[in-house]
Amino acid sequence: MKRIFFFPGLLFAFISVSAQKIIPIEYKGKKYEALDLVAKGKVMWGGYEEIAADAAKSESNGSANTTAIVTTVGKNAGYDGKPYAARMCSESTHGNKDDWYLPSKEETDAIYAFKDLFSVEERGTIWSSTEASGTTAITKYWYTGAYYNNQKVEEYHVVCIRRVE
């Protein structure tokens, strides 16, 4: 956003840039890039639709979970089209890459292992793509690294991830 203020004889321009950053991480022999979307604000996991056939309950495959979530929730019509975590990741093209996804429960551990590199506040929470029930999904609490099952319509931070070959 650009704001321009005019004062007699002076011109001031203030530019606000949202600070999404890509962070390379390696965890337990796997290489990832993480996309810090915290500056975009907190969002919901995505409605109360239960994902069919446990398709988003993987604790290790965030890519498959994300595909299942976006396929089921779609444009989030039941919530006035509000943005939601999995869709934000799947639609991201940061770094000219189009394979971002919402991390699974286990993949949030990789992000948390490098927590000092992210802009999540000390007592913040990030979404995982792992569904716990029809109304809850698993989150990672930044202060302790603990997992919690939270309501899908609550709003938390988003960090996306992608595997690097």
124 DSSP 8-state letter: -
- Long-range CB pairs of 82-85, under 8 A, 24+ apart, other chains included: 82/43, 82/44, 83/43, 84/43, 84/44, 84/45, 84/46, 84/47, 85/43, 85/44, 85/45, 85/46, 85/127, 85/129, 85/156, 85/158
Please tell me the pTM assigned to this model.
0.87
Q: How many CA atoms lie within 13 A of 149 on its CB side?
A: 7
The percent of residues above 70 in pLDDT, for the chain, comes to: 88
Taking the domains of the chain in order of start, what are their residue ranges? 20-163
Position 20 scores a pLDDT of 76
Nearest to 48 by CA among 84, 23, 20: 84
3-state secondary structure of 13: strand
Nearest to 118 by CA among 32, 6, 47: 32
> What CATH class does 20-163 carry?
alpha beta
pLDDT tops 80 at residue 132: yes
The answer to whether 27 and 34 are in contact (CB under 8 A) is: no
Per-residue model confidence as pLDDT tens digits over 10-33 = 433 333 334 579 999 999 999 999
| Residue 92 to residue 89: CA distance in whole angstroms | 5
- CB neighbours of 162 closer than 8 A, spacing ≥ 6? 32, 33, 35, 97, 99, 100, 101
Per-residue model confidence as pLDDT tens digits over 38-78 = 999 999 998 887 798 899 999 999 999 999 999 999 999 88
